[in-house]
Amino acid sequence: MPSFLIILFTVVILAAGTALAYTTGAVAVLVYYASGLQDYLALSPQLVFSQIDVFALMAMPLFMLVGEIMNRGKVTQALVDFAVIAAGRTRGALGHVNILTSVFFAGISGSAMADSAALGNTLVPAMVNKGYDKVYAGAITAASSIIGPIIPPSIILIFYGAIMRVDVAALFAAGVLPGLILAGALMIANGYFAIRHNHPRGERLTRGEALGAAKRALPALVLPLIIVVGIVLGFMTPTEAAAVAVFAAVIVSAIYKTLSAKVLFESFKRTVVLTGAIFILFAAASLVIYIAALTEFPSAIANSVVEIGLTGNSYIVLIVVVFILFGMVLDTLLGLALVAPVLVPVAISQGADPVHMGICVCLTLTVGLISPPLGGSVLVVSAVTDTPYWSLFRWVTPFLLVEIAFLFLIALVPEITLFLPRLLGL
């Protein structure tokens, strides 16, 4: 089948609204036939099961369940109240609160989309009530949501670890410092806009109010601490930590008096749906990865890279650029499943650290959630806050530029990501 017919078929089924996972699988089958390798499709069931037969993947649905229970358990407000204490009386304090809450929320949801939805419902109205422009409030919510998938526990880091066979504990440790530095960079940007646009200062709290808010937030803050410390220090595997986290999430929700049979049922139901959606991506991606191996596509890329002279940092910069472009148009997990197995091994063969590459790739793809033309987090904030989509992008752009600059810093200075894993012997 001619290549242009395959491309035309892809465009048509995407335009018809077909899910990316099904599109990927269908196009992969056509490529097998076009390459004369259709007999290898008989191995499809084995390929799919070998792709998902990874122990670390068991942690993924459990961490998603933790996020669902905590989200439905109304834990967000407790985290916001604690962030208010941390931001103090600084100008643009609620903008800082937004970013800090994303840091705290990262340890619960591990999802930028969940972060955007939860904070869009709570913090954006609060910021508007205090005099902030609604579009700016929505933009900083979308921009800060990118922190969520990098600070552990992280669904995308588990996904990367499973695909590339990289230690998830090392990835979790590597994500902590970049996540905190990114939060600091966004707070500096927010501080600049706060001064320029005369954003209001934070409210003065009495000592009793501050202690009350800290006490209420403590159960929610302890949960991610248990997870990260348990995994990083080797007390638990990521899967074991995820199981403990589910149990702890139930207890925390009970402490907040928000636990009910309905909350548990809806959390389990949503987790099953999300798990199915993710694993169908694995199924489609396994076909693409295998046809790439059969046609020696990764080797061809490696040879081309060597011929061009792209090695070391220059090749890593190329990977960052490619993943930024893929992040703009592809689902994050699908982009990771399709592209990482092809491009990342070449960097590793040149001496790059697999853990460092994992943070670079995952953060780069996640930035696509606030990049046009799709921008999943921007779409969520726009829908939740009833704010014009392109108006949000105009205000997101300065924060996006900060994050892209940070991406290249992380890519070119691997010590930032590897400091903590090395310190902990991972």
- Residue 321 sits at the vertex; the CA angle it makes with 145 and 110, to the nearest 5 degrees, is 25
DSSP strands (E only) in 157-196: none
Alpha-carbon gap, residue 380 to 113, rounded angstroms? 7
3-state secondary structure of 201: strand
- Which residues are within 8 A (CB) of 305 and not within 5 positions of it... i.e. 6 or more apart? 311, 315, 346
Alpha-carbon gap, residue 254 to 61, rounded angstroms? 21
pLDDT at 51: 66
Look at phi and psi of residue 353 and say left if phi exceeds 0, alpha if psi is from -120 to 50, else beta: beta
pLDDT at 5: 55
pLDDT at 1: 46
pLDDT at 113: 63
- Which residues are within 8 A (CB) of 361 and not within 5 positions of it... i.e. 6 or more apart? 160, 319, 323, 336, 340, 344
Here the contacts of 257-264 (C-beta below 8 Å, separation 24 or greater) are 258/72, 258/73, 258/74, 259/73, 263/69, 263/72, 263/73, 264/69
414: closest CA among 342, 328, 347? 347
Alpha-carbon gap, residue 148 to 366, rounded angstroms? 9
pTM: 0.75
Q: Which two tokens stand for residue 24?
A: 């990927």
pLDDT at 55: 67
pLDDT at 320: 83
385: closest CA among 80, 190, 128, 143? 128
pLDDT at 12: 65
Q: What is the mean pLDDT of each run of 10 residues along the chain (426 residues)?
A: 55 64 77 78 77 70 78 69 69 79 64 64 75 83 81 79 83 87 89 82 69 74 73 74 81 81 85 78 74 69 67 81 75 74 82 89 83 73 77 85 89 89 82
Distances (CA, A) of 34 to 30, 291, 337: 6, 11, 22
Alpha-carbon gap, residue 183 to 94, rounded angstroms? 14
148: closest CA among 114, 97, 185? 114
CB atoms within 10 A of CB 58: 16
